[in-house]
Structure 1
């Protein structure tokens, strides 16, 4: 599976955490993994590991986001944009395999696919401030 596809599955798992909570993550991951026919064992391990890592750093990630936005706080953001930002901020700060520019580009692409009309520009703007 390509990194873009893996990232999309991670986005979906992190989005799920907004509604089920971190304590339910293992069960939700297992249910989600059952539906991924095209994913191999390494892919599932990558999706699960990165989703758990983001969950463990959510508080720190949200603090970073809140420090770099004007007029918005994570509590007011729509859940899709917030999830995309969390994934990208994690990749920018803690995933050495993902260059900052790639993390931003991939986040904007996720926003184009899953967010509203303003989402891609919002995500790009926040991540550009974080990258400075």
Structure 2
């Protein structure tokens, strides 16, 4: 098992504990990781994942809620909810981790820690989270007509207009 997988599993356990106790702070996550004797090279990434989820919890939960049709966060199994939070944070905020890696890792961890139905559920929700975020980025990156006119030099616009006139004659 790779170091990042170990870190994700350790982070999952720390987030599970935070969720169980209702104490959403980095110190609780750090305490949990120390309690489980997580190796130093694993601890750093695990703690960064926990801090990221904790610091962005409202946005993370919003992404999950929007993607999970007919399932409120409160209704989800705590393991699934914690894993979804972890993977959603990775998908939305960790540009160095490919989306498919985050989803695949979450599915594998769900097989180990979740119920029989967890891998399928986690896959479905995370796929919707990723699709929604990808669509949002694509929409944000489409320039408006005003932006296009500002960006387009007048000479280029005149040349295009002239070319269109020439081809229609």
| TM-score, normalised with respect to structure 2 | 0.70
Q: In the aligned structure 2, how far is the partner of 1:115 from the partner of 1:35?
A: 19
Counterpart in the other structure of 1:49 = 48
Deviation at 1:18, TM superposition (A): 0.5
Q: In the aligned structure 1, how far is the partner of 2:59 from the partner of 2:126?
A: 15
Greater length-normalized contact order (CA 8 Å, ≥ 6 residues apart)? 1
Matched, 1:9 2:10: yes
Counterpart in the other structure of 1:95 = 94
Give the alignment partner of residue 24 of structure 2, picking from 18, 22, 25. 22
Report the RMSD for the aligned CA atoms in angstroms. 1.7
Counterpart in the other structure of 1:83 = 82
Paired positions, count: 129
Deviation at 1:31, TM superposition (A): 4.9
Counterpart in the other structure of 1:69 = 68
Q: Which runs of 5+ in 1 are unaligned?
A: none
Q: In the aligned structure 1, how far is the partner of 2:107 from the partner of 2:57?
A: 20
Task: State the SS of the aligned residue for 1:75.
Answer: helix
Task: State the SS of the aligned residue for 2:73.
Answer: coil
Q: Which runs of 5+ in 2 are unaligned?
A: 132-169
Matched, 1:121 2:120: yes
Deviation at 1:34, TM superposition (A): 4.5
Structure 1 stretch displaced more, 47-56 or 82-91: 47-56
